[in-house]
Amino acid sequence: MLLTILAFVFVLGVLIFVHELGHFLMARRIGVRVITFSLGFGPKIVGFHRGGTEYCISAVPLGGYVKMAGETPEDPRTGQPDEFLSKTKWERFQVLVMGPVMNILLAVFLMWIVLMQGAHVPAFLDRAPVVGAVEKGSPAERSGIRPGDLIVRVAGHTVPTWEDLSIAVGARAKHDIPIEIARGGETITLSITPDARTKYEIGDIGVYPDVHPTITQVTSGDPAEKAGLRAGDIVISFNGQTVTYGSQLTEAIARYPGRTVVFGVRRAGEPLDLPVTPMAHGKKGWVGIGLIDEFKSVHLGPWAAAKMSVQRNYEFGGQIFQTLVGLLTRETSPRQLMGPVAIAQLSGESAALGWIALFSFMAFVSLNLGILNLLPIPILDGGHIFIMALEGLAQRDFSTRVKEGMLLAGFAALMLLMVTVIYNDLTRIEWIQRLMFWR
């Protein structure tokens, strides 16, 4: 719990600081007087004054703000050139846009650091999505997909790699979608409804690549050694069912304490079937093996890492927009939205895995924060930019009453979104879920 709290405060604090720093630095650059730079909202806990600006930390940590002189029509104004509304629309645009831009730049920077360290990534992600196995009882099996099929398109989107397939299907849980496959020189279109997996309702159709886990070690005296399993064996099947990931095999073994099962392995290119009787380890089966999935190592120099960071953030940005469109068209489940509780949980889980995982998670959240703040929703940075753009097209400034109406509508939309994501977060907590009798 303490690690989760500390990681959440660190992640949120850095992202908010960088966002507000963008507004602050651009305001100072164009000559706007900054009254307050605050991390957090509400009552001020601690602060100091320097150069005419109050720097402080406030009680509610879910945000922050930069208060500028003459920022709104209601603020006391003298008409001095150091007031925000005394600046041109172009200058005000620069101040507003720099918060989201700083978050996007932070995402690129953090991902660059991560990629510079090198990474182990699943070897199949950048391969063509040729089906190696189909899960029994899955949407793919029910629709007629077979091993050897090449998945070409999902809902009209070309999916050249397994990673693209995962993204396209993941955003469309519980929605009937067309999937085109290539089989024997023919193109076949199938209708499939992806299952909703995990507490975030990620779409899944139950197809797997043609990869298998490798046994890395066999514990002396345990059932695996007695059955003749060796380090280096590639596990192809378990009781006749294809095995793709080590986690699948571990979960399957756990269900068979004291019962004989059959490992299908490949050793030096030759197939072998070996009967194994897992011992009871508590209430779960145990055979005494170490497993590793098929990974490849990526080691990049500074320039190559920078290029890949930009590319990955560009791709992630496209996924974010695809999710937003999916929410509007109801193709994407609102359950995929995360609020502060889920971010706190994931911050703690990432921190437990190490700083590389934590920085990767921070990059993802920072990119989301930057893009979402650019949406044309009044009250967000993008909303203020949108209003200024409309004023530019109309060649006149809107009245205070009109702007207040727009901001109120934006505030209501934002509150509705916050209620939705917080409700989603709470339903993912097991003991709270049990109290929700209506679910």
Residue with tokens 């600081």: 17
Is 54 tagged catalytic?
A: no
When pLDDT is averaged across residues 338-344 and rounded to a whole number, the result is 78
Give percent above pLDDT 90 in the chain. 41
pLDDT band at 319 (very low <50, low <70, confident <90, very high): confident
Superfamily of the domain at 133-208: PDZ domain (2.30.42.10)
Domain boundaries, the chain: 2-115+364-435, 133-208, 214-293
- Which pLDDT score, from 0 to 100, does residue 432 have? 66
Q: Are strands 119-122 and 133-134 parallel, antiparallel or unpaired?
A: unpaired
- Which pLDDT score, from 0 to 100, does residue 435 have? 66
Give DSSP secondary structure letters for 144-165: T--TTPEEEEETTEE--SHHHH
- Which pLDDT score, from 0 to 100, does residue 430 have? 67
pLDDT band at 102 (very low <50, low <70, confident <90, very high): very high
Mean per-residue pLDDT over the chain, rounded? 87
- Which pLDDT score, from 0 to 100, does residue 119 have? 65
pLDDT band at 254 (very low <50, low <70, confident <90, very high): very high
When pLDDT is averaged across residues 7-25 and rounded to a whole number, the result is 92
- Which pLDDT score, from 0 to 100, does residue 221 have? 86
Across 14-28, 355-369, 396-410, least confident range:
396-410
Q: Which of the 8 DSSP states describes residue 32?
A: P
Name which CATH class applies to 214-293.
mainly beta
H or E element in which residue 197 lies? strand 195-197
Give percent above pLDDT 70 in the chain. 95
pLDDT band at 272 (very low <50, low <70, confident <90, very high): very high
Total residues belonging to the chain? 439
Fold match, 133-208 / 214-293: yes
In sequence order, the β-bridge partners of residue 44 are 58
247-250 contacts: CB < 8 A, separation 24 or more? 249/213, 249/291, 250/291
- Reported as a single tens digit per residue, the pLDDT across 306-318 is 988 898 898 888 8
